[in-house]
Structure 1
Amino acid sequence: MISKVRERFNSGFRDAYYEGLQKEVLKTFGEPCPFRISETPVFIDREMKGKVFDACDAILRQLDDLDFEAVRQRFMPKQLHSPTPVGNPHFLGIDFGICEDEHGNLSPQLIELQAFPSLFFYQPFLAKAYLNNYPNIPVDDFHYFLGGHTEKSYLEALREVILGDEAAENVILMEIFPEAQKTRIDFWATQQALGIEVVCMTKVIKEGKRLYYEKEGRKIQIRRIYNRVIFDDLYQFKDLKTSFNIFDDLEVTWITNPDWFFMISKCIMPMLSHESIPESYYLDEVPRDIDLKQYVLKPLFSFAGKGVNLEPTWELLNTIKDMKNYMLQKKVKYSPLIKTLTDRNSRVELRILFVRDEKEGRLKPVINLTRMGKGGMINVSHNTNDTWIGSSISFFEK
């Protein structure tokens, strides 16, 4: 997006910089990154930055107007409704593809959104690792923290949301078999930053309404759960043995309440409108006169591209029994805008990450997560032998 910066970066690129970054990951976390890291960050100019945050502001305003109890009743199975107060979402991720229209103009287009925590601690590490190993990044003219944050204020904002007033030992990051998860590098980064334990859901002990975990022979009460359990994963393990259910009535504070996983997700996209939001329909409300070739089929509740069909047909749609759990979204054309040192350019998906500011009573942007790819779908979970793709971060022009 900033051709001179990209040209300088590419001409100054050395394989040794990328090797140094990978060595820093290994030294910091004791293992390589489980998913591929791109050779390059992304540099976003002021014009695209303005378009992205104009779209974010529009989405946030519309979220304020939605009746989320109605959303909850419509899309969440009643047996999954949390018995504890839902409260407000602590986190939000808004994903945009950087796309081009028929005239070649670039614009951010909403791909999905989710009120669920993302790689909040890996991303600042990644940005610093680029800066530590790449002397060809123009530091003075760009930033990766958002909302005026510095490294110190960013960490404090996350500490306030996740820990609250509790001691670190009474707060856990909870996942299912965390050591096997693709995103585990962020768990270790969180542990290093906050001093909290990463605990498998199967290791949590329930006594009455209270939860505990064991450490060094001690049984420690859990008062807050930084929940990283993705429900797709939860239901994959049919014989998973746990002493409690996420939707039990418990004396614990959820960061964030599990219901928000459902309530702010792809399920509300047909309710939103903006020039950066592609037209979409619930599958049981699709007009029969639309051109299916212009749409992609998506399940409302899935992660990492699971269940997405890029070429839906009426025959396929007619076989789907639970139509209310799917939607059609108008296709967008990711722009191959990142020049690389290969024979193909890379495409960009940009996730703006928000954290709730309790004093101001609103979600505020704090950092970004960027993914790069060259195929039809951008997914860092599926490694390929290609280069200049994968996990990255965007530096925004000041």
Structure 2
Amino acid sequence: MIDTEYLRDKFLQCRKQSEFICKDLEIEDYSVQPIVDVSPPKWHLAHTTWFFEQFILVHFNKNYKVYNDDFAFLFNSYYNNAGDRVLRPNRGLMTRPTVKEVYEYRNYVTQEISAFLSTNVSSEVKNIVETGINHEEQHQELLAYDIKYILGHQPTFPSIPLNYSLQQEIQELEFLKIEEGVYEIGHRSNGFCFDNELGVHKTYIQPFSIANKLVTNQEFIDFIEDGGYQNFNLWHAAGWDWVQQNKMLAPLYWHFFKGKWHYYHTDGFTNIDMKLPVMNISYYEAFAFAEWKKMRLPTEFEWEVASNNFNWGQLWEWTSSAYLPYPNFKKADGALGEYNGKFMVNQHVLRGASIATPKNHSRKTYRNFFHPELRWMFSGIRLVK
């Protein structure tokens, strides 16, 4: 049973954190959508608000008055059961409602949810509020990705004090041996999890060894200088097509300037720190790098089994596993059932967490997932042999 007062405090803290992430943005930054994958910060702030309004207040609070009837159309993301919505590529066209009104909308819904949680709400309501908090935490991380992309594609590379700092991978490289056997996979504790972490099942794993550290910028530069982006033998066919069509030469945000590699992060445009883990990597690049090293990426099951043996949390780590349902996976009825299940095709699983993941949001059974060509998220590489 979830303690209501604890849930209310966690909800309020979550709402404050989203606004804290955006506190140093200028008004002009809030509505920009450079590519389809990058949603405007204003949209994130409004969408996460709509989620609580739609799935809690509208459905369970008979006295609730909807803030604005148009907002369900403007800020629904992909929930077909919840009605029509603005197409994803068009989110950046909305200069209205204004940023000021979006913050007023957030304040209105936050107060309504807080007040509603002070009443005798059901366990169902508490569970959906908890899902809404975890949903907003996901968008807090997406905000970090999107703000970096918005600022990192401007000519002056402006910095912002978001404090998403990587640590150097200075430990000696070791490969940790994992014995073969039958292992249990999936979420087993009483705490929160998403439906894609269920059901719990057993899988047989061959013996393998996994690196105790992430691949560094220096290692990736070695790959580049050895012709990694020109050697088709290292790439999947789809990956090689992606390289050729997009003229790929380096990770996202990397620039070869005055004879040296530089890159952009939220603290500005700098020389590359060779000991930091390489980030903003697509699955295609991670696979090609592993091929070049004559190694491979872990499966998501290998990663989960091995995760107690190394520190993780700097970057989401690509696995070689397709994003598919576990045995006995069940979708919820209605719109909430669209949260994960309908995306289980043509995507790869990433495990772990990143420097932008909210505290206690991830866990070793957490299954993040993206299309293999994407790399604006905070992703990296861990090798297996």
Fold-level similarity (TM above 0.5): no
Higher relative contact order (CA 8 A, sep 6+): 1
Q: TM-score, normalised by structure 1?
A: 0.27
Answer 1 or 2: which has greater helix percent. Answer: 2
Answer 1 or 2: which has greater strand percent. Answer: 1
